[in-house]
Chain A
Amino acid sequence: MREFAYEAVTDPEGAVALVAADPDACFLAGGTNLVDHLKLGVASPRRVVDVSRLPLASIVAGDDGVRIGANARNSDVALHPRVQADLTVLSRALLAGASPQIRNQATTAGNLLQRTRCVYFQDVTTACNKRAPGSGCSAREGYGHHNAVLGGSESCVAVYPGDMAVALTALDATVVVLGPDGERRVPVEELHRLPGDRPDRDTTLAHGELIVGVEVPWLPDGSRSAYHKVRDRAAFAFALASVAGVLRLDGGAVTELRLAWGGVAHKPWRARQAEEALIGRPLDEASVHAAVDLELAAAAAGPANAYKLALLRNVTWLVLRDLAGEGAR
């Protein structure tokens, strides 16, 4: 772990100014990802700017939706009464992530910006284009259990590992970002990017841009949401694949549908083609499978990760079936 200067800041603008001006600086929030990376040698900043004490931890439920401060802890968001009652998918996704201890310290912004868990990314003695651009991708021909099946590139097949962002993608949330020139709003779907030939860049944020909050609109009346995560261990494990779904049925036909998949791509994957195929139609296993297959037409999988295709097919059906069943009740 390289030496670094530590500074705790008290105003957001000051934090942005410090980091934007120094290419070797980075933000620190709960530390559960950054401190991990400092020890592994994956991150080696010269300056660490602690934003965890900025007054950005509030969770405010308004008429249009809920505004979650960047520093709101994962556990606090998950247990917020309005989130639990009306944004089930978000609460469930958060509670399916990590461990209670980690959720107590992890922040909303830090969670969004957590980096891939690809084993080669975390092992500095191996080649990885995301960590060391140009060094090669060890995962393509190596340990492929978690590799992306959608949107991967020649240079990177890492997946975005988080759960919360998958839920936020299905909820059409917006990330509020503060930069040197003021605030801007980024749809969460546009926050993370596909690797292309720049896998070192996880997101569309510029260096020094600070996430200050996330705005989540309420669901349309009559819609329900759910999150289902499949993992190798019964708890405390990253997703093999996960599905976030929002559904409304009217007279047996799908009138509102949003689907986001986790653990299968370099970003939370909004399955828009599958959504479109199902809108206006009755929900049954065959049509859901067909819709998923449409979305998966562009998928690329090898022997180690082909199971993810079956999982997406099955779990998307499981989530929608259960949501439809709940609606019927």
Chain B
Amino acid sequence: MGARLQIEIGLTVDGAERRLLVDTRSTLLDALRDRLGVTSPKKGCDHGQCGSCTVLLDGRRHLTCLTLAAAADGREVVTAAGIGPDHGRGGLHPVQQAFLRHDALQCGYCTPGQVCSAVGMLAEAAAEEVTLDDAEIRERMSGNLCRCGAYVNILAALRDVARSEGTG
């Protein structure tokens, strides 16, 4: 393997600085999971079609399965494991608490992606100054499939959070 086929990158993952050598073919999702042991983002389809691998990348919700690790050099990744206060060490994010209260999950496989996506959505709505009514939440969360069919509970959870944040 020639040197150009591997590349050294730096990432901030849930608050921690990480440096690693990656295969240029490696996706950010595989680099996080297989190389850094960060398994909070899940692989549901590996082709951008389910949302399970969603993280916040430089603050915006993003699919890690369609991002080359090499292209993510220097970026900040926040996963559901580090989305709570103090990079997750200080407890759960309000979205996570609402998910628990409303049983907005079953198998839990789509859930870390749903949580990151929801946090991203709340920030987007605040920036756009739109009110998150039910229809808006459903549409804006449609990039995250849930085969267990927890949607109505996810909606209830996010309605709660949006209201308490003043965006709903």
Asked if A101 and B25 make an inter-chain contact with CB atoms under 8 angstroms apart, the answer reads no
Query: 6 smallest A-B Cβ distances: which pairs?
Result: A99-B143, A235-B142, A6-B24, A5-B4, A6-B70, A35-B66
1/0 per residue, CB under 8 A from B, across A1-17: the answer is 10111101000000000
Q: Are B25 and A36 in contact (CB under 8 A)?
A: no
Report the minimum CB–CB distance from B142 to chain A (whole Å).
Answer: 4
Binding site for B on A (CB under 8 A): 1, 3-6, 8, 28, 30-32, 35-36, 38-40, 48, 50, 52, 75, 79, 98-102, 104-105, 234-236
Q: A6-B24, A36-B66, A48-B24 are in contact. Are A102 and B48 (CB under 8 A)?
A: yes
Cβ-defined contact, A101 with B68, below 8 A:
no
Q: Which residues of A contact B51 (CB under 8 A)?
A: 99, 101
Question: A107–B136 Cα gap in the complex (Å)?
Answer: 23
User: Which of B27, B46, B62, B139 makes the CB contact (< 8 A) with A104?
Assistant: B62
Chain A residues, Cβ within 8 Å of B5: 3-5
Which residue of chain A has the shortest Cβ distance to B141 in the bound complex? A100
Q: How far is the CA of A17 from the CA of B124 in the complex (A)?
A: 38
A235/B139 contact (C-beta < 8 A), A5-B4, A101-B63 known: yes
Contact across chains for A100 and B61 when beta carbons are under 8 A apart: yes
Q: Which residue of A lies closest to B49 (CB)?
A: A236
List of A residues within 8 angstroms of B71 by Cβ: 6, 8, 28, 31, 50, 52
Closest residue of A by beta carbon distance from B63:
A101
Contact call A31/B61, Cβ cutoff below 8 A: no
Binding site for A on B (CB under 8 A): 1-2, 4-5, 7, 23-25, 27, 46-48, 51, 54, 57, 60-63, 65-68, 70-71, 73, 117, 120-121, 124, 128, 138-140, 142-145
Q: How far is the CB of A123 from chain B (nearest CB, A)?
A: 12
Contact status B60-A3, CB under 8 Å: no
| A40 CB, min distance to chain B CBs, angstroms | 8
> How many Å lie between the Cα of A39 and that of B120 in the bound state?
27
- Partner among B67, B73, B121, B128 whose Cβ is within 8 Å of the Cβ of A35: B67
The answer to whether A35 touches B61, judged by C-beta atoms less than 8 angstroms apart, is: no
Greatest chain A CB density within 10 A among B47, B57, B117 is at B47
A48-B24, A100-B61, A101-B63 known; A31 vs B143 contact (CB < 8 Å): no
A28 cross-chain contacts in B, Cβ below 8 A: 68, 71
A101 is contacted by which of B47, B117, B138 (Cβ under 8 Å)?
A: B117
- Across the interface, A6 reaches (CB within 8 A) one of B66, B68, B117, B142, namely B68
A3-B25 contact given A36-B48, A100-B61, CB 8 Å threshold: yes
Interface contact A31-B68, CB-CB below 8 Å: yes
Q: Are A101 and B70 in contact (CB under 8 A)?
A: no
User: Smallest CB–CB gap between B69 and chain A, Å?
Assistant: 9
Residue numbers in A under 8 Å from B24 (CB-CB): 3-6, 48
B70 CB contacts on chain A under 8 angstroms: 6, 8, 50
Partner of B1, one of A3, A8, A75, A234: A3
Most buried by B among A100, A104, A105, A236: A100
Contact A100 B25 (CB under 8 A): no
Contact of A101 with B1 in the complex, beta carbons under 8 Å: no
24 contacts between A and B (CB under 8 A): A1-B25, A3-B1, A4-B25, A5-B24, A6-B7, A6-B24, A6-B71, A8-B70, A31-B66, A31-B68, A31-B71, A32-B63, A35-B68, A39-B46, A40-B47, A98-B48, A98-B143, A99-B143, A100-B61, A100-B117, A102-B143, A105-B57, A105-B66, A236-B145
Residues of chain A within 8 A (CB-CB) of B67 are 31, 35, 105
In Å, the complex CA distance between A105 and B124 comes to 14
Min CB gap A302→B, angstroms: 27
A58 to chain B, nearest CB (A): 18
